[in-house]
Structure 1
Amino acid sequence: MADQTTTGFLGRTTTRPPFDPELVPAEEAIRDALPPLSDETLPMIRQALAEGVPGMGPVDLTARGRVRVEEREVPGPEGAPDITLLILSPADDRGPKPCIYHIHGGGMVAGDRRTGVGTFVPFVAEGGAVVVSVEYRLAPEHPDPAPVEDCYAGLLWTAKNADELGIAPERLIIVGTSAGGGLAAGTTLLARHRAFPKISHQVLICPMLDDRFETHSSRMLDGETGWDRNSNVFGWTSLLGVRRGGPDVSPYAAPARAEDLSGLPRTYMDTGSVEVFRDEILTYACRLSEAGVNVDLHMWGGGFHGFDLAAGHAAVSRASVATREEFIRRALED
C-alpha cells in the first residue's frame, strides 16, 4: 500500500507510512464497526468497549479456577467517592508476589476495570503475580484531575495493603494501555512527587501522553484506524476542556509536559508506526533515557493503534505481544 498524505488539520499536510498488509482487513473492520467519536456516539462506544474487543470472546478471569477474583471498594482521593479495584490472585498462594497494577485504556472517556485485564491473567494463573486493576472516573463527566488521582489512590491503597493482598511491596509494576498508558505515566510521576509508593517498572503500551498536537504523527490520521486525530482531540478536550493545548496543563494529566524525568523506574514503551501517539512516545522514551532511566522502546512497522488486539494473528502482532510479555516476565523475576 502506498504512503498516504492528508491535508486539512490546522492547515497542515502530513504523510503517513503504509499499514502492514496483514493488518489492513482489521483496520477496515474497525472503521466499519465504530462511528467517529463524539458526544452523540460516546454512549454507544462505551457500550461496545464494555462488551470486549471485537473478534475476541469473553475472558475467563478465573483461568479455570487457578485465579481468585475479588472486587474491593477502597478510599478514593480526599473528598471524592470510593473507587473499585478488581484483584486477581493465584488460587494456589505461594507467598508474596510482584503486583501488576493495571490501568485500562479508552481514550480517557470509556472502559472499566475489566477492559484489557484479561491480557495479564496468565501471569496470575502461573503463580507469578497479583493483578490489581483500577476503576477510575471517566471524562468528560469527571475531567482532570479525577482520573489520575483515582489511579494514584488505588495504587496507594494497594501499596499500604500489600501484606493482606500477598504482594511484595517493593515489586510494584504499573501497566497501562493507550489512555491507561498516559495515566500510568502520570501516576508514576505523582508517586515520585509524593515519595510513595516506589514503583519498580512502568509498562506504557501505546500511551496517550501529549495534548498539544505539535507532532507530525498527531496530525497524520484522519478517518483511519480506531483512534485518529479527531478522536484524539475529543479525548483530550473531554479531559482538559478549554485548557487543552494551553499553558495550564499538569504533567500528571499530560506526562509529555513533565520537565524532569529523572528518578523514574525502568520503562517499557511501544507503538505502531502508523498511530497518532507515535512521535510523543518516541520523544518521551528518548527523554527518559537522557534522564538516566533504562528504557526498552519498540516501534512496530505498519502497526496502527491497538493492532495487536485487533489482529492478533498477524506476524507483527505476535512479535509485539511476545516482546512485551517477555519484558513483563523479566520484570516479575527481578
Structure 2
Amino acid sequence: MPKILRFPRVVKLLNYVVERFRQAKVIEGVHLEERTIRSSDGTATLRLVIYRPENVSGELPALLYCHGGGYIMGNPEQSVEMIEKFIKTRPCVVIAPDYRKSFTKPFPAGFDDCYDTLLWARDHAAELGIAATRFIVAGHSAGGGLAAAVTLKARDTQDVDIAFQMPIYPMIDDTQPDDPAREIHTPVWDTRMNKLGWGAYLAGLKRSGEEIPAYAAPARNSDYRGFPPTITFVGTLEPFYWETAAYVDALRSEQVDVAYEEYEGCYHAFDALGGQAEVSRKARAFTYDNFAAFYDKYVVSGADASGVPS
C-alpha cells in the first residue's frame, strides 16, 4: 500500500475522486441494476449494486457481497471480477452495498448499511427474484469483517437464514495493531495501515468511551454456537493471519463445517494482486471450488451446518 495512503486527508480525497468518476462495470451475460435505500439511522442514502445472471429463470439464491478497503475506502465496482466469478460458478443474485466508509461516518454506519441491505433484500425477495431464505454472505478483507459481523447478528437475531458465509482473510480483530507479537510489515496492508483503518472505524466508540462490541470487531465474540458453514483462507504474512486462524478454530470447536486454507509466505490480497502466480491461482480455485461445493450442499440441498438436510 503506498505510504501516502497513511494520511486520512489523502484517503478522503481518493474516495471523493473514485466516487466522482465512478462508472458501472458491465459483466457479459449479467444484468446490472442500481437501487437506493435510506439508511436505518435516517442520515444517508445507500447505493446498492445488484447483479443478476441473464437467461436464468426462476427464483435464485442471493449473495450479499461486502467490498474491502480497510473500512476506509472502496466501492462495489472494485470487486466486479470476484462478483462475476461467483455468478458464473453458480447462479445467484449478488447484492453489493456501497456502505459508508469510516471517514464519512464510523461504526456502526458501515455495518448497519450492510445489515440493512440484507434485511431489504429479504423483504423485497419476490421483486428481486430471490429466495427469501438461505442467503450467502461474503466479503474480502474489511468486507470479510463485515460479512462475519452480519452473520453474527443474523445468528443472534434470527432475522435471516444464512446458508453459509465467506469472510475471506477477514479484518476482525481491533487489538492486532497494538500487539507487538503480531506486528507485520508486508506489501498492500501492514500493521500501520491496520491501525489507521481500525482507528477510523472505531472513532465514535473511542470518543464516547464505549466498549467495543463484537458487531464492530467480530473477534471479540465468544459464542460460536449456531454459526453457518464457513469458507475462508489467509496468507501467513499478513496482519489478519492470526485472527483468521483463531476464528476458524473457534468455529470448528462448535462443529461448524469450515473449508480453510493457509498460504505460506503470502501477503494480504495475494489472490487478487498476484496475477497468474501459481499460489494466487490456487487461492482463487479454493474460493470458487468451495463456493460451488457449499452452494450445492447448503443452498440447493438445504442441509444444515452438520450436513443433515433441513
State the TM-score bracket (shorter-chain normalisation).
0.7 to 0.9
Q: CA deviation at 1:80?
A: 3.6
Does 2:12 correspond to 1:43?
yes
Correspondence for 1:61 among 16, 21, 26: 26
Report if aligned partners of 2:147, 2:167 keep a CA contact under 8 Å in 1.
yes
TM-superposed deviation, 1:124: 2.8
- Taking the aligned partners of 1:140 and 1:60, their CA distance within structure 2 comes to 25
TM-score with structure 2 setting the length: 0.87
| CA apart distance, 1:285 | 0.7
| Contact 1:94-1:127 within 8 A present in 2 as well | no
Aligned equivalent of 1:25: none
* CA distance 1:226–1:105, change in 2 (3 Å): same
What residue identity is the alignment partner of 1:225? Answer: P
How far, CA to CA, are the matches of 2:155 and 2:17 in structure 1?
35
More contact order relative to length (CA 8 Å, sep ≥ 6): 1
Unpaired runs of 5+ in structure 2? 298-310
Matched with 1:235 is 197
SS at match of 1:133: strand
One-letter amino acid of the counterpart of residue 26, structure 2: L
Shift of 1:331: 2.5
1:99 maps to 2:62: yes
Letter in 2 for 1:226: V
Deviation at 1:295, TM superposition (A): 1.1
Select the residue among 91, 97, 104 that pairs with 1:134: 97
In the comparison of the two structures, how many residue pairs are matched? Answer: 293
Which structure is higher in helix share?
A: 2
Give 2:277's aligned residue. 314
Letter in 2 for 1:303: C
How many angstroms apart in 1 are the aligned matches of 2:44 and 2:17?
26
- Aligned structure 1 segments of 4 or more residues deviating by more than 4 angstroms: 47-52, 214-217
How far is 1:126 from its partner? 6.4
Instruction: Report the counterpart of residue 170 of structure 2 in structure 1.
Output: 207
TM value normalised by structure 1: 0.81
Instruction: Tell me: CA distance 1:47–1:119, structure 2 relative to 1, closer, same or farther (3 Å).
Output: farther
Report if aligned partners of 2:85, 2:288 keep a CA contact under 8 Å in 1.
Answer: no
Aligned position for 2:113: 150
Residue equivalent to 1:226: 188
Partner of 1:177: 140
Alignment of 1:1-334 (within 5 A): 31=2, 35-43=4-12, 45-46=14-15, 60-63=25-28, 66-125=29-88, 128-213=91-176, 218-221=182-185, 224-241=186-203, 243=205, 248-334=211-297
Quote the sequence identity (%). Answer: 32
Secondary structure of 2:156's match?
helix
When residues 289 and 308 of structure 1 are mapped into structure 2, their CA distance, relative to the original with a 3 A threshold, is same
* Alignment-mate amino acid for residue 27 of structure 2: T
Q: Secondary structure at the match of 2:99?
A: coil
**Which string of whole-angstrom CA distances, capped at 9 and with x for unpartnered residues, describes residues 75-123 of structure 1?**
3214342311111111213211111210000000001122213312144
Report the Cα distance in structure 1 between the residues aligned to 2:109 and 2:216, rounded to whole angstroms. 10
